[in-house]
Structure formats: structure tokens, C-alpha cells
């Protein structure tokens, strides 16, 4: 089967051919004809399967007829993160170059003025994150009653990030008579309920078992002492045949510190995380794609959906807290039929997380020692980190706080929420026992550093209520 067999227009086929593609992936072969027939779609597919093109290509042909009106987009694509939204926009530019379709990107981290100007002209395709869309809708800057086609992409990620209430609200603002396409790597009950509520007689397409890892990826668990992670990683990068690698960390401070350490060791590395502005993120990704740097240290902001070709290795420097994130992380390699290797560093504290990952993917992952993984001697003392443990995160903390201060007001905890969270602490400080506890404050602060620099998931929407309260260990 070729793209010519799917019923796409000649102009679109020309763009696809020039992009270097002639054979559709399984999800493209199944989804494109149904979308062209205006069917609602539920697509279950892991990353790297060509899912984005499965809705971008037919949308271009569908929207080729008709014209847009000011502040009334004709179609809407919802993405959980800025990076995914920007990637979809790139796909529209690449495949829609022979069509006169207008497009707007509605995401945080870029000028709202430019986005409003584009909306005023009228757009055929609006690609947005839920947080920014709800913000502008609340200000009366956008109307959704002219939107006849809705795409909800990475629905399981939307669930993880707390966007489902926003999506439900957005769906109620759209015309009842519309075409809806929902894509997800997994289908948890909440997503199934969402689909049942807002999709009409959808066609279900599943091209891979939910939460399965690609068979093209060789997976290894590397047992390592927590204090020797950096040494082990550096040695593995030198000894292994690493063409390009993505290294995932759970915290932004870890990303920054590890990248600095790798650069000091002579590696061509870069970093991407939530404290980096959108323009810098895009620039860093382009440097990685171009080969200027061949190692990208990233938080989970880069884990889902980003199509980075030619990644030979993925390193989970920190075992992911959520099992689904494991699948998406290692999915950065082994794409489009290529083979890849994924190493996950495992300490004694990671036993539960690894157990949950293996339950999810339905297979046992081979366990190797650090010496086996690098096929060499133990790292030397010279390569050990010179900085005392814990020093760097505390130094980086003001930057993290500054980034929080730059977030839109709508995404900050309300005064009421802050008062509820702070009141018990204020009352405790006034008690006779406050003085002894005050001496323990630095220790508590160290334990709670993660509250200021927690998981970096490309957050672009409202903060769920439960995240406004700390957990004192």
C-alpha cells in the first residue's frame, strides 16, 4: 500500500513524496481513509508510529475547502505540551505547503500578542495547549462555535497533567455536530469515559498493545550505587557505541547539574527542561537534530511525542516515577523501524518503580551490573564529581523560583489556596514548640527541595488542587 491508495489529493501526495515518504505506517493506513470519510476516531498507538501524520494529512484535505473567520478557528488540535504543539505545527507546514491554509500556535512561553493577531485574521487550524486556550477563551478573545473538527492528542498525558476537566469544558463550547479524533498510547477508564461522552460512533484503531515497548529496543536495567551514577554514565557514554543519546532525569536541577558535569568531562551535551523558555528549547532541539550536540539531557518535558530521528541510546538516569513515562522515554529510540538501546539506572530505592514498569509492559527487563554494562573497569577517582552532594541543587534553587514567578497568574495557586496551606504552618510557628522545630528547618528544607523543583512534565495548564500542598517526610 502507498499513500496514493488512501484517497489523498495530488497536492498533498506531492508534499508527502518530497518529504521522503511513500508507504504509510499501519495507523496511517487505517486512520486516514476513515478521517476523510468524516468518522470519529479513537486511535491507540505508541509513540513513533506516525500518529501525527495520521490526522494532519487528512485534515489538510478536509480543510482545503472553506474559509476561516476572525477569532473563529475551523479546527482545533489539543496537545499537552508546548513541544508537541510545535511539532504538529511543523507537520502542517511540511505537508500543507501546496495548500493555502492558515495556522496558529496557541501555547505558553511565547508572545500572546502575536497569537491574538493571528486569531484576528482567522485561522483554519488552531494548535493549542489547554491552559492557554482556556485563558484566551475566558478573556473573550476566541470563539469555538465555528470549529467543526477536534483532535485530542496524547489523551493519557492530558490525564496525567490534570487537563481532563479543561478538555471536557472545551468540548462543551464546540458545536455538537463535529468530527472528533482522539489519540492515546493507553486507554485508562477516565479516557474511555471521555471518549464515550464526546465521540459519536467512533472507529477504534489499535496498532500496538497499550503500554508496550517497541520490539526494536534492547532494554537493560543497570544496578548502580546512587553515589556512582555520574561516573557510571560517563564511562558508559565513552565505552558504548553512542551515536546520539537522550538522558532522562526526574528533576530539573538534576538535568542542569548532569549537563554541566558531562560538558566538563568533554561531552557535547545540551539540556532541555521546563525552566528553559520556548525559543531556547526549540533552539536546543535543533542543535541536537543537527548533530551540534549528540547528547541531550532532558526532563519528561521531552519524553512524549517528540520525533527526534537517529537516537541510538536512551539512558534513564533516574528511574521514572510513573510506569507510562518509561514507555514514552525509551520510545525516543528505535523509531521508524530502526534499532535502539535503552538503559535504566536502578538503585535500591527504585525497586517498586521498576516492578510497576515490568507489570505494565508485561515482560521482565534484563538486569546487568554497572561493570557488565560498560564492559570495562570501575570508574577512576578522577572522574568522580568534584562538587559536594546536594550543593548544586541548592544553588540552582533561585532559578527555579524565578521560573515559577514568571508563570502566568492563572496558573499560580489562588490566595485562598495559599492561605489554607500556610495557616497550619503559621499557627505552628506561634506555638511553644516552635523554637526547637525551627532548628530543624534546614533539614526539612532539604527534604522538601523537590517541591520547588519537582517533576518537569511540560506543564501548560491549571495546577491541580492537590499540588498546592506539601508533604513533609
Which of 12-21, 47-56, 76-85, 365-374 shows the lowest mean pLDDT across its residues? 365-374
CATH number at residue 290: 3.40.50.300
Are residue 117 and residue 226 in the same domain, yes or no? no
Domain for residue 394, yes or no? no
pLDDT (average), residues 319-337: 79
pLDDT band with cut points at 50, 70 and 90 for residue 302? low
Are residue 312 and residue 356 in the same domain, yes or no? yes
pLDDT (average), residues 27-31: 95
Are residue 185 and residue 249 in the same domain, yes or no? no
The residue assigned the cell 473538527 is: 149
Domain for residue 468, yes or no? no
Of 183, 206, 229, the residue that ends a domain is: 206
Rounded-to-integer distance, Cα 319 and Cα 335, Å:
21
In this prediction, residue 123 carries a pLDDT of: 93
Residue 148 pLDDT exceeds 80: yes
Domain for residue 430, yes or no? no
User: Domains in the chain: how many in total?
Assistant: 2
Residue 356 pLDDT exceeds 50: yes
Residue 362 pLDDT exceeds 90: no
Chain segment 248-268, per-residue pLDDT in tens? 999 889 999 999 999 999 999
Range of the domain at 334: 217-383
Domain for residue 262, yes or no? yes
Rounded-to-integer distance, Cα 432 and Cα 22, Å:
75
Of 147, 182, 206, the residue that ends a domain is: 206
Are residue 179 and residue 254 in the same domain, yes or no? no
Residue 232 pLDDT exceeds 80: yes
Are residue 305 and residue 373 in the same domain, yes or no? yes
User: How far does the chain reach from its first CA to its final CA, in angstroms?
Assistant: 58
Better-scored residue on pLDDT, 2 or 443: 2
pLDDT band with cut points at 50, 70 and 90 for residue 447? very low
Are residue 249 and residue 355 in the same domain, yes or no? yes
Domain for residue 261, yes or no? yes
Domain for residue 463, yes or no? no
Are residue 197 and residue 279 in the same domain, yes or no? no
Are residue 16 and residue 157 in the same domain, yes or no? yes
Are residue 159 and residue 230 in the same domain, yes or no? no
Rounded-to-integer distance, Cα 439 and Cα 449, Å:
17
Are residue 166 and residue 298 in the same domain, yes or no? no
Chain segment 33-92, per-residue pLDDT in tens? 999 999 999 999 876 678 999 999 999 999 998 888 888 999 999 999 888 898 899 999
- Mean pLDDT (the chain) is 78
Residue 417 pLDDT exceeds 50: no
Q: Which residues of 316-350 are buried (b: 16+ CB within 10 A; e: fewer)?
A: bbbbbebbbbbbbbbbbbbbeeeebbbbbbbeeeb
Are residue 16 and residue 121 in the same domain, yes or no? yes
Of 355, 383, 411, the residue that ends a domain is: 383
Chain segment 213-228, per-residue pLDDT in tens? 566 788 999 999 989 9
Are residue 53 and residue 188 in the same domain, yes or no? yes
Domain for residue 467, yes or no? no
Residue 381 pLDDT exceeds 60: no
Domain for residue 151, yes or no? yes
Amino acid at each position: 500500500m502507498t499513500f496514493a491508495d488512501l484517497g489523498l489529493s495530488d497536492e498533498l501526495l506531492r508534499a508527502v513524496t518530497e518529504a521522503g515518504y511513500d508507504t504509510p505506517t499501519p495507523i496511517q493506513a487505517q486512520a486516514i481513509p476513515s478521517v476523510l470519510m468524516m468518522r470519529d476516531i479513537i486511535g491507540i498507538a505508541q509513540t513513533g508510529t506516525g500518529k501525527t501524520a495520521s490526522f494532519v494529512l487528512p485534515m489538510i484535505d478536509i480543510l482545503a475547502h472553506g474559509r476561516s473567520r476572525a477569532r473563529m478557528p475551523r479546527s482545533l488540535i489539543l496537545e499537552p505540551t508546548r513541544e508537541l504543539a510545535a511539532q504538529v505545527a511543523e507537520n502542517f507546514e511540511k505537508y500543507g505547503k501546496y495548500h493555502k491554509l492558515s495556522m496558529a500556535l496557541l501555547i505558553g512561553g511565547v508572545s500572546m500578542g502575536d497569537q491574538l493577531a493571528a486569531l484576528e485574521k482567522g485561522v483554519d487550524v488552531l494548535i493549542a495547549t489547554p491552559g492557554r486556550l482556556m485563558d484566551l477563551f475566558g478573556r473573550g478573545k476566541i470563539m469555538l462555535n465555528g470549529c467543526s473538527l477536534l483532535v485530542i492528542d496524547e489523551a493519557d498525558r492530558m490525564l496525567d497533567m490534570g487537563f481532563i476537566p479543561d478538555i471536557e469544558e472545551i468540548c462543551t463550547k464546540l458545536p455538537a455536530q463535529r468530527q472528533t479524533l482522539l489519540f492515546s498510547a493507553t486507554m485508562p477508564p477516565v479516557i474511555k469515559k471521555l471518549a464515550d461522552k464526546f465521540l459519536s460512533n467512533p472507529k477504534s484503531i489499535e496498532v500496538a498493545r497499550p503500554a508496550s515497548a517497541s520490539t526494536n529496543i534492547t532494554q537493560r536495567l543497570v544496578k548502580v550505587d546512587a553515589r556512582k551514577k555520574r561516573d557510571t554514565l560517563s564511562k558508559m557514554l565513552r565505552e558504548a557505541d553512542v551515536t546520539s543519546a537522550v538522558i532522562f532525569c526526574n528533576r530539573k536541577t538534576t538535568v542542569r547539574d548532569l549537563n554541566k558535569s558531562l560538558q566538563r568531562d568533554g561531552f557535547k551535551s545540551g539540556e532541555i527542561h521546563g525552566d528553559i523558555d520556548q525559543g531556547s528549547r526549540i533552539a536546543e532541539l535543533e542543535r541536537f537534530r543537527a548533530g551540534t550536540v549528540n547528547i541531550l539531557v532532558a526532563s519528561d518535558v521531552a519524553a512524549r511525542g517528540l520525533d527526534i530521528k537517529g537516537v541510538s541510546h536512551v539512558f534513564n538516569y533516574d528511574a521514572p516515577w510513573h510506569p507510562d513515562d518509561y514507555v514514552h522515554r525509551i520510545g525516543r529510540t528505535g523509531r521508524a523501524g530502526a534499532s535502539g538501546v535503552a538503559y535504566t539506572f536502578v538503585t535500591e530505592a527504585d525497586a517498586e518503580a521498576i516492578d510497576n514498569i515490568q507489570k505494565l509492559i508485561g515482560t521482565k527487563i534484563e538486569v546487568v551490573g554497572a561493570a557488565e554494562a560498560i564492559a570495562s573497569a570501575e570508574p577512576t577517582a578522577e572522574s568522580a564529581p568534584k562538587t559536594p552532594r546536594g550543593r548544586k541543587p541548592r544553588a540552582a534553587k533561585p532559578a527555579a523560583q524565578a521560573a515559577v514567578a514568571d508563570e502566568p497568574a492563572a496558573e499560580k495557586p489562588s490566595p485562598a489556596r495559599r492561605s489554607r496551606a500556610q495557616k497550619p504552618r503559621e499557627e505552628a510557628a506561634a506555638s511553644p514548640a516552635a523554637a526547637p522545630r525551627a532548628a530543624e528547618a534546614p533539614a526539612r528544607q532539604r527534604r522538601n527541595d523537590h517541591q520547588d523543583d519537582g517533576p518537569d512534565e511540560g506543564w501548560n495548564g491549571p495546577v491541580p488542587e492537590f499540588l498546592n500542598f506539601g508533604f513533609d517526610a
